[in-house]
Chains A and B, each alone.
Chain A
Amino acid sequence: MADLATTFAGIRSPNPFWLASAPPTDKEYNVVRAFRAGWGGAVWKTLGEDPPIVNTASRYGAVSFNGARIAGFSNIELITDRPLAVNLSEIKAVKRAWPDRALVVSLMVPCAEESWKRILGAVEDTGADGVELNFGCPHGMSERGMGSAVGQVPDYVEMVVRWCKQATRMPVIVKLTPNITDILAPARAARRGGADAVSLINTVQSITGVDLDLMAPMPVVDGQGTHGGYCGPAVKPIALCMVAGIARDSECASLPISGIGGIATWRDAAEFIALGAGTVQVCTAAMHRGFRIVTDMIDGLANWMDRAGYRRIEDFRGRAVRNFVHWEDLNLNYRTVAHIDQDLCIRCGLCHIACEDTAHQAIAARRANGRRQYEVIAAECVGCNLCAHACPVEDCISMVPVPTGRPRLTWKQHPNNPERREAAE
């Protein structure tokens, strides 16, 4: 059986599945339930200075897609709404009762060195394993000069991280906001400041919908709405891209990454790890289905690793990073053609209409003895694979590589590229 134990920025946990800083990690009661369910770690709901903030009703928006609830999720909650002393004493109690689990404390205080020093000292006394600096919250706190207001300015990131590293012996993880043009800027800044790791993504600024009766953006609070932070399955592709971007960056190289964003299954986790993440954090999936999901995450990941021949997380961590290249490094001489398995085809015609209306008119609609027949016209197919995505039947349409006899050719060498470099002989 594969060994899932991880050591991340010096913090040990029995498995890479941590709960992200959010309502699931708001208090002792929840975190104890989570640890009992098997979670490897938790990042405590972000602490701030007293007096605590105040939250609204409602707080959440969600996007359903084709009957699937919570395909995307958003919130307008702020950091913890409980007094600092209460949180600190609970953190201490949990860490004492669960020494083998990772317990990291998320922090957000005003952008002043004194404030950070004060809270770091208090957290250190709890025996927590590390801190996560919340530079990501995109609403409510940013207007007060905290959260993403810091995270969007690389110089501030570097400055605050440096203060923190000087003030504490605990590992410092910097949680990054995706609400920025280039994720590398704050990631590199964190590294320059001496961060032990980064975690990403925090939530994406969003309006989940508009209530057309009230004419107000959702979630609606007494007839009005504000932008919230988007997360859940819908943001996973954005998160993967940002994680991978940091993983392959030479300036950030070897900076540990905790992957966050839309992770709901062991497979999602494996993908983040393959792109360089050392641990993963989960919020929405737990809020949707409860802590019990971790059982399948743990054994799903272990079973997959056994099948794939990986004994430890490190055996496959970052394996896909080398294949994450820039567009200009892709082989333009590689060809595929769609192939429809006529035995599996249910004759819905979706491949035909997708290609006919919006792609390359490469799937013919025929009738053979009154029966619908959809056939690829190989000469017209450009191998875009739209049809394979539109097809509702698993494995019915496959993209078959076609030998072209031509050597690998990238845009860098392509004759159409005015700035081409001849292939090195």
Chain B
Amino acid sequence: MDGDGLSAHRIPRDVIAANFADCAPALSHDEAQVAAARCYFCHDAPCIEACPTGIDIPLFIRGIATGNLKGAAQTILDANIFGGSCARVCPTEILCQRACVRTAQEEKPVAIGALQRHATDWLFAQKLQPYSRAPATSRRIAVVGAGPAGLACAHALARLGHSVTVFEAREKPGGLNEYGIAAYKLVDDFAQSEIAFILGLGGIAVEYGRSLGQNLALSALRQNFDAVFLGLGLAGANRLGLPGEDLPGVANAIDFIAALRQATDKSTLPIARQVVVVGGGNTAIDAATQARKLGAEEVSIVYRRGPEAMSATLEEQERAQVNGVTIRHWATPVALEAVAGQLAAVVFEHTRPDSAGRAVGNGERFVLPAQMLLKAIGQHFLPEPLATEGPRLEGGRIAVNKDGETSLPGVFAGGDCIAGPDLTVQAVENGKIAARAIHRHLGF
């Protein structure tokens, strides 16, 4: 059948461009005023505690309400230098906005994320650089990984007067902000303009194409620098372990998304008519939604448990559904079928919870025709770059104490490569905490 495989240009280019427009456009001045007026300026505000970076939310919203946008933006950025992207990508529905007292009162929280964007957008538009560096300390710190964790750490250290070198394996900074977050959340190359603002502070040199474990060794970094921060993220994508997993048409969801984020013209990306995504997290949601937006006709997410067990928030699940994605629960893939050496269908088995709550197959099968299968069943930390001299691991990730210090003195880590929620905002907080600890470690 013609065009049943992978093909680009399934729908017109301008339709695709519109599909990938900002999913939550900026508030107008008036909208921001109305939203800000809803904040009660709580004492001991629960939202602050619910923000992993502890932004003084009532204070910045008051700044918006009074017309002090610079003060508002700085309140945000003081706590979270990635306040601009967090305003766009944070699952506020499970963070600050869930804790908002207005949620308890009327199930309609103050629009904290949107207001955060309003204030930070204003500051970026003014091209203001509110930060400066303390007098140089002559201390040098190596940061590995230019994702949110690494850059947040680098920025905080540079402000304190230290000089920072960031080693990044890829050709661009940003980590998943650049390669992973859904395209409609960070439009207009926001990830790069935000990083330009962060690096605009000075004192941070980034070396691209420097990959720990390949052309860079931890031992050398420890020798040549006063401290090291590891913000390596999760480099490994989990595999299904099924025969045929390397067939054309089968891909990791994160690779599909990365290609999508990097494409200047998304209409040139090949996409199948029928796509199946396996997994239950935000990566599955993002891959499925973006597959639909590229022109796939039928997209299903299949998850081995029920809706409440999905790590994707309800809002994210709804986003997929509104975009025409079908979410099927309680099923797991058991075989891949090929036609002419290309994926043609995925065979699933129904599951149900066993006595221990695990999802187990019940022997009943069904088949979903699919020319594209996107695997979104989780990522894992790849310890290989750390070689044998690496820090102690725990649960497959780098073990750290509350300051972010690893088992190796002077080596710190944060972000997705340590335990904790895999969120941009959490990575930023880890980087910030570690920077403070490194500062103390250096004897300040």
A349-365 interface bits toward B, Cβ cutoff 8 Å, 1 = contact, 0 = none: 11011000000000001
Complex CA gap A66/B39 in Å reads 10
Task: Please name the residue on chain A nearest to B42 by beta carbon.
Answer: A348
**A180 close to B (CB within 8 Å):** no
Evaluate whether A349 and B45 lie within 8 angstroms (CB atoms) in the complex, with A66-B37, A67-B34 already known: yes
Contacts of A365 in B (CB 8 A): 43-44
Cβ of B295 to closest chain A Cβ, rounded Å = 43
Contacts of B42 in A (CB 8 A): 347-350
Cβ of A377 to closest chain B Cβ, rounded Å = 16
Whether B101 and A352, one on each chain, are in contact in the complex, defined by CB atoms closer than 8 angstroms, is: no
**A400 close to B (CB within 8 Å):** no
**B214 close to A (CB within 8 Å):** no
Whether B46 and A350, one on each chain, are in contact in the complex, defined by CB atoms closer than 8 angstroms, is: no
**A393 close to B (CB within 8 Å):** yes
Contacts of B105 in A (CB 8 A): 346, 392-393
**A372 close to B (CB within 8 Å):** yes
Contacts between chains A and B (CB distance < 8 A), count: 36
- The one of A67, A349, A393 in contact with B44, judged by C-beta atoms closer than 8 angstroms, is A349
**B220 close to A (CB within 8 Å):** no
Contacts of B33 in A (CB 8 A): 67
Contacts of A350 in B (CB 8 A): 40-43
Whether A346 and B101, one on each chain, are in contact in the complex, defined by CB atoms closer than 8 angstroms, is: yes
B126-149 interface bits toward A, Cβ cutoff 8 Å, 1 = contact, 0 = none: 000000000000000000000000
Contacts of A66 in B (CB 8 A): 37, 65
B28-57 interface bits toward A, Cβ cutoff 8 Å, 1 = contact, 0 = none: 000001100100111111100000000000
- The one of A67, A347, A349, A353 in contact with B104, judged by C-beta atoms closer than 8 angstroms, is A347
A179-222 interface bits toward B, Cβ cutoff 8 Å, 1 = contact, 0 = none: 00000000000000000000000000000000000000000000
- The one of B34, B41, B101 in contact with A347, judged by C-beta atoms closer than 8 angstroms, is B101
A316-355 interface bits toward B, Cβ cutoff 8 Å, 1 = contact, 0 = none: 0000000000000000000000000000001111101100
Q: Which of B34, B102, B104 has the most CB of A within 10 A?
A: B104
Complex CA gap A349/B65 in Å reads 20
Whether A346 and B104, one on each chain, are in contact in the complex, defined by CB atoms closer than 8 angstroms, is: yes
Task: Please name the residue on chain A nearest to B103 by beta carbon.
Answer: A346
Cβ of A389 to closest chain B Cβ, rounded Å = 13
Complex CA gap A356/B443 in Å reads 40
Q: Which of B31-90 contact A (CB under 8 A)?
A: 33-34, 37, 40-46, 65
Contacts of B101 in A (CB 8 A): 346-348
Cβ of B348 to closest chain A Cβ, rounded Å = 41
Evaluate whether A348 and B37 lie within 8 angstroms (CB atoms) in the complex, with A372-B46, A392-B105 already known: no
Cβ of A419 to closest chain B Cβ, rounded Å = 43
- The one of B34, B44, B65, B102 in contact with A372, judged by C-beta atoms closer than 8 angstroms, is B44
A227-258 interface bits toward B, Cβ cutoff 8 Å, 1 = contact, 0 = none: 00000000000000000000000000000000
Evaluate whether A347 and B37 lie within 8 angstroms (CB atoms) in the complex, with A392-B105, A393-B105 already known: no
Whether A352 and B37, one on each chain, are in contact in the complex, defined by CB atoms closer than 8 angstroms, is: no
- The one of B37, B41, B43, B45 in contact with A67, judged by C-beta atoms closer than 8 angstroms, is B37
Contacts of A353 in B (CB 8 A): 43
Task: Please name the residue on chain B nearest to A365 by beta carbon.
Answer: B44
Complex CA gap A365/B43 in Å reads 10
Whether A392 and B46, one on each chain, are in contact in the complex, defined by CB atoms closer than 8 angstroms, is: no
Whether A348 and B43, one on each chain, are in contact in the complex, defined by CB atoms closer than 8 angstroms, is: yes
Complex CA gap A353/B46 in Å reads 14
Complex CA gap A143/B398 in Å reads 81
Cβ of A395 to closest chain B Cβ, rounded Å = 12
Contacts of B43 in A (CB 8 A): 348-350, 352-353, 365
B96-116 interface bits toward A, Cβ cutoff 8 Å, 1 = contact, 0 = none: 000001101100000000000
Complex CA gap A306/B305 in Å reads 59
Cβ of B155 to closest chain A Cβ, rounded Å = 32
Q: Which of A67, A350, A353, A365 has the most CB of B within 10 A?
A: A67
Q: Which of B40, B41, B65 has the most CB of A within 10 A?
A: B40
Cβ of B78 to closest chain A Cβ, rounded Å = 22
Q: Which of A61-82 contact B (CB under 8 A)?
A: 66-67
Task: Please name the residue on chain B nearest to A367 by beta carbon.
Answer: B44
Contacts of B46 in A (CB 8 A): 347, 372
Task: Please name the residue on chain A nearest to B104 by beta carbon.
Answer: A346
Contacts of B45 in A (CB 8 A): 348-349
Complex CA gap A308/B367 in Å reads 70
Cβ of A393 to closest chain B Cβ, rounded Å = 6
Cβ of A374 to closest chain B Cβ, rounded Å = 9
Q: Which of A371-396 contact B (CB under 8 A)?
A: 372, 392-393
Complex CA gap A67/B35 in Å reads 9
Complex CA gap A353/B104 in Å reads 20
Contacts of B34 in A (CB 8 A): 67
Complex CA gap A6/B34 in Å reads 41
Contacts of A348 in B (CB 8 A): 40, 42-43, 45, 101
Cβ of B379 to closest chain A Cβ, rounded Å = 31
Contacts of A346 in B (CB 8 A): 101-102, 104-105
Q: Which of A67, A348, A372, A393 has the most CB of B within 10 A?
A: A348
Complex CA gap A349/B37 in Å reads 17
Contacts of B104 in A (CB 8 A): 346-347
Q: Which of B43, B46, B104 has the most CB of A within 10 A?
A: B43
Complex CA gap A352/B33 in Å reads 26
Contacts of A349 in B (CB 8 A): 42-45
Complex CA gap A66/B38 in Å reads 9
Task: Please name the residue on chain A nearest to B30 by beta carbon.
Answer: A67
Complex CA gap A348/B46 in Å reads 8
Contacts of A372 in B (CB 8 A): 44, 46
Complex CA gap A372/B105 in Å reads 15
Contacts of B44 in A (CB 8 A): 349, 352, 365, 372
Cβ of B274 to closest chain A Cβ, rounded Å = 47
B1-45 interface bits toward A, Cβ cutoff 8 Å, 1 = contact, 0 = none: 000000000000000000000000000000001100100111111
Cβ of B38 to closest chain A Cβ, rounded Å = 8
Task: Please name the residue on chain A nearest to B33 by beta carbon.
Answer: A67
Complex CA gap A349/B40 in Å reads 10
Complex CA gap A125/B65 in Å reads 55
Complex CA gap A349/B105 in Å reads 14
Contacts of B41 in A (CB 8 A): 350
Complex CA gap A348/B99 in Å reads 10
Complex CA gap A66/B45 in Å reads 20
Contacts of A67 in B (CB 8 A): 33-34, 37
Task: Please name the residue on chain A nearest to B106 by beta carbon.
Answer: A346
Cβ of A68 to closest chain B Cβ, rounded Å = 8
Q: Which of A66, A347, A353, A392 has the most CB of B within 10 A?
A: A347
A109-132 interface bits toward B, Cβ cutoff 8 Å, 1 = contact, 0 = none: 000000000000000000000000
Q: Which residues of A contact B (CB under 8 A)?
A: 66-67, 346-350, 352-353, 365, 372, 392-393
Ordered by A's residue number, 6 sampled pairs between the chains whose C-beta atoms are within 8 Å are: A66-B65, A67-B33, A67-B34, A349-B45, A350-B40, A353-B43
Pairs A-B, 4 closest by C-beta atoms = A349-B43, A67-B37, A353-B43, A346-B101
Known: A350-B41, A372-B46. 6 other contacts (CB 8 A): A67-B33, A347-B42, A349-B45, A352-B44, A392-B40, A393-B105
